[in-house]
Chain A
Amino acid sequence: MTRTTKIVGTAVFLAVVLVGIPAFITVSERWDLYYTLTSVALLSIASGGVWLTFYIGRINIGQGAYALMGGYVSAILVVKYGVSFWLTLPLAGLFCAAASVVIGLPILRLRGVYFAMVTLVLTEVARLLMLALPITNGAKGITNIPLPGSVKIFGLTLIPDFATLSNVRPAFYYLSVILMIVSFAALYRLVNSRLGKLCRSLQQNEELASSIGVNISYLRIIAYVISSFLGGIGGAIFGAISQSVYPSSFTIVDSINFMLNCFLGGLGYVFGPILGTFVLYFGWDLLFETGRFQLLIFSTVLIGLILALPNGLLSLRFKRASWGSSGRE
C-alpha cells in the first residue's frame, strides 16, 4: 500500500463515516441505522482492545468484564454522585486500567488456552460481582441514567446537553465514531512504532526478546492496560446510550463476540476489528427479517467465511503485517 493510497483511503473512510452516513440516514429516514452503527463503533472499540491482547500473544475472552466495569463506574458516578458524564468517561477507563493491572499481573504469565479460560471465568466473576455488591444495586441494575450533560468552558458550550437535543442519536453516533477513530488511530500508531515491534518480538521469540533486554512482563501489562481501558470506555458509553446498566449488560457471550470480531476481520490487521464487528453485528441485524432462521443463516455464513478465509476477511486484500510464522502467505 503506497502512502498516497493510505491517505486517500483514510480520507474516504472519514468522509463516509462522518458525513456520508449521517447524510444518507437523514435522507432515507432510517433512523434506526444510527443505533446500529453506534453499536458497531462502540463494540469495535472494545474489540480493538481484544485485538491488542492478541498482539502480545494472548487469547482474551475477558473484555466483557471490563466493559461491564466501565459501564457501572460511569453509571454510579453519574447517578449517585452527580459527576458529569464526560468526566466519568476517562475515569471509567482509568478504573478499568487500574483493575487490569491488579488482575493482569498474575494472569498474563499464563499462555494459550489457560489464559483464555481464566479470562472467560473473569467475565463471569465480574457479572456475579455486580450482582452481589451493594453499590451496584444487584439485579435491579442502575437505571434512569440521565443523558450526558453539557461541557462548557468559559461560558462557551463545547458540547450541548444531550437532553436538549431533538434527536439524540446523531450525537451518540458522532461521539462513538470519533472515539473509534481516535482509538484505532492510536492503535495503528502503536503497532507501527517501536512498541509494536517489541510486541512482535515478544510474540515471535520470547526468550530472545528477554535476552536483548525487553521487559516482557512490563510490555504485556501495558498492552493489557490499554486493552482494558478501551473496554471500559466502550462499556461506559453503552450505559449512557441505553441509560441503564445491569449485571447482564455484558456477558460471556459478549466477550466471545469481541474475540470473534477480531478473528473475522483478521488478527494480522489493526483495522480488522472494525470490519469484523461491522460484518458480524450488521449482518446479524440485517438477517432479522428472516425471523426464525436468523441464527441459522448467520452461523452458516459465519462458518462458511471461516472455512474460506480462516485468516480473516482482510487477508483477501492485504499482505499480512509481518506476523511471522512459517511464512505461509
Chain B
Amino acid sequence: MNDILQVIDLTKRFGGLTAVSNVTFSVRELEILSVIGPNGAGKSTLFKLIASFLRTSGGEVRFRGERISNLAPHITARKGIVRTFQETNIFKGMTVRENVIIAHHLRSKASLFGFFIGSPVAVRDEREFGRSADRILEFLGLGEIANEIASNLPQGHLRALGIAIGLSTEPAVLLLDEPFAGMNHDETMRAVEMVRSVRDRGVTLLLVEHDMSAVMKISDRIVVLNFGEKIAEGTPAEIQKNESVIEAYLGSEDESIGL
C-alpha cells in the first residue's frame, strides 16, 4: 500500500500560540485514519492545513509525493483532497439535489463559457451530473428528500448531504470533520456503515472525531494529538493500551476513551 498523503513536520502558529507543532504521519491509500485528541488539541487546525485553508508556519503536506500545502483551497480540491465541514457544510438555499449537482463542478470538462453558451460538452456534463447526483443520493439514503431545501433537513441528513457533496467531487482523499457529531447510537452505527461504504468506493478517508466508540470501530489506524503535538499513532487496539493517550484524556475534562 502506498502512502497517498504525507504530513511532514507540519506546524502552525497563530501569533504567540502554536496550534500544531511538528506533526508527522502518513495516510495509506484506501485506509480510514482518524485523528483524535482532547478539545483544543489542534485537530481542526490540522485539517484546515491539509486542505490548504490555512497557510503553514512550517513543514509540508504531500499528496502522492507532490507538495500541496499552501496552495489555494480550490486547487487542492482539484488535486483530489476534499474537505467536509463541521457546521455550515451545505448550501442552505438550494435543494438537496442541487447541492450535490453543483458539487460535481470539479469534474466538469466544459469551460464556464461553454456552460454559458450551452456547448455540447456542457450539455453532456449537465446530464451526467444529474445521473451521478441521483446515484450518490441513493447511495447515501437521501433519494427521497432530493427536492427538499437543504436548510430544512434534520441533523442526520445534513451530515449525509455533507458527505454526498464531498463524494461528488470524486476525491482521492476525503477529510471528514466530525461526521458523527450529535448522533445517537443508532444513527452513529448507520453512519459508520455509510462511511465504510464510501471507502469501499475507492476513497481514502481522514476523520476528525470525538465519538470514541465510532472511532474505534471504523478506523484502520489512529493518530492522537495533544496540545498540537502527535503523541501516538497506531491501530485502535494499540491506542487503547497506550499510556500517554490515556493520560492525555484523563488529564482533560472531556469524554472517556471508551475502553
Q: Which residues of B contact A327 (CB under 8 A)?
A: 92-93, 149, 151-152
* Residues on B with beta carbons closer than 8 Å to the beta carbon of A163: none
Q: B105 is contacted by which of A189, A194, A216 (Cβ under 8 Å)? A: A194
Q: Which residue of chain A has the shortest Cβ distance to B118 in the bound complex?
A: A193
Interface size on A, residues (CB 8 A): 27
Q: Does chain B have a CB within 8 A of A84?
A: no
> A194 vs B102: C-alpha distance in the bound complex, in angstroms?
8
B105 x A212 contact (CB < 8 A): yes
Q: Are B92 and A207 touching (Cβ within 8 A)?
A: no
- The 8 A CB mask of A167-196 against B (1 = contact, 0 = none) is 000000000000000000000011001110
Given A195-B112, A326-B151, A327-B152, residue A212 in contact with residue B77 (CB < 8 A): yes
A193 lies within 8 A of B116 (CB): yes
Interface residues on chain B, size class: 35 or more
The chain A residue with its CB closest to the CB of B79 is A213
- Is the beta-carbon distance between B89 and A208 smaller than 8 angstroms? yes
Q: A210 touching B94 by the CB < 8 A rule?
A: no
| A-contacting 9-mer, from B12-20, B28-36, B80-88 | B80-88
Once bound together, how far apart are the Cα atoms of A323 and B92, in whole Å? 9
Cross-chain contact of B74 among A194, A195, A214 (Cβ < 8 A): A214
Encoded as 1 (CB less than 8 Å from any B CB) or 0, chain A from 295 to 329 comes to 00000000000000000000000000011111100
Within 8 A of A (CB), among B115-140: 115-116, 118, 122, 126
Query: Counting CB contacts under 8 A, is B106 at the interface?
Result: yes
| B103 / chain A contacts, CB cutoff of 8 Å | 212
Q: How far is the CA of A201 from the CA of B149 in the complex (A)?
A: 14
Contact between B116 and A189, CB atoms less than 8 A apart: yes
Contact present for A212 and B169 (CB under 8 Å): yes
Q: Are A208 and B165 in contact (CB under 8 A)?
A: yes
Q: How far is the CB of B237 from chain A (nearest CB, A)?
A: 33
Partner of B106, one of A193, A212, A216, A323: A212
Interface of A: prevailing SS? helix
Q: Determine if B53 is an interface residue (Cβ-Cβ < 8 Å).
A: yes
Q: Is the CB of B91 within 8 A of A195?
A: no
Q: Could you tell me the distance between the alpha carbons of A190 and B114 in the complex, rounded to whole angstroms?
A: 11
Q: How far is the CA of A214 from the CA of B88 in the complex (A)?
A: 17
Number of A-B contacts (CB under 8 A): 100
| Pairwise interchain contact A222-B112, C-beta atoms closer than 8 A | yes
Collect the chain A residues with CB atoms within 8 Å of residue B72's CB. Answer: 210, 215
Contact A324 B91 (CB under 8 A): yes
Q: Is the CB of B93 within 8 A of A198?
A: no
* Contact assessment for B92 and A212 in the assembled complex, using a CB-CB cutoff below 8 Å: no
Which of these, B78, B91, B116, B152, contacts A213 with CB under 8 Å? B78
- B-side contacts of A222, CB under 8 Å: 112
* 0/1 string, B143-179, CB within 8 A of A gives 1: 0000001011000000000000100110000000000
Asked if A211 and B94 make an inter-chain contact with CB atoms under 8 angstroms apart, the answer reads no
Residues of A within 8 A of B126 (CB): 194
Shortest beta-carbon distance from A203 to chain B in Å: 8
Question: A210 to B168, alpha carbons, bound, how many Å?
Answer: 14
How many Å from the CB of B197 to the closest CB on chain A?
21
Q: Which residues of A contact B77 (CB under 8 A)?
A: 210-213
Among A193, A208, A326, point to the contact of B88 (Cβ < 8 A): A208
Nearest CB in chain A: distance from B173 CB, A: 12
Known: A211-B82, A212-B82, A216-B74. A204 touches B105 (CB 8 A): no
8 Å CB contact of B112 from A194, A207, A213, A216: A194
**Cross-chain contact B105 with A198 (CB below 8 angstroms):** yes
Partner of B92, one of A189, A197, A324: A324
Known: A193-B116, A324-B92, A325-B93. A212 touches B102 (CB 8 A): yes
The 3 A-B pairs with the shortest beta carbon distances in the complex, nearest first, are A324-B93, A213-B106, A194-B115
9 A-B contacts, Cβ less than 8 Å apart? A194-B115, A197-B102, A212-B77, A216-B74, A323-B93, A324-B91, A324-B92, A324-B94, A327-B151
Q: Known pairs A195-B112, A214-B74. 16 more at Cβ < 8 A?
A: A194-B102, A194-B112, A194-B115, A197-B98, A205-B90, A208-B85, A208-B88, A208-B89, A208-B165, A212-B103, A212-B106, A212-B169, A213-B106, A324-B93, A324-B151, A327-B92
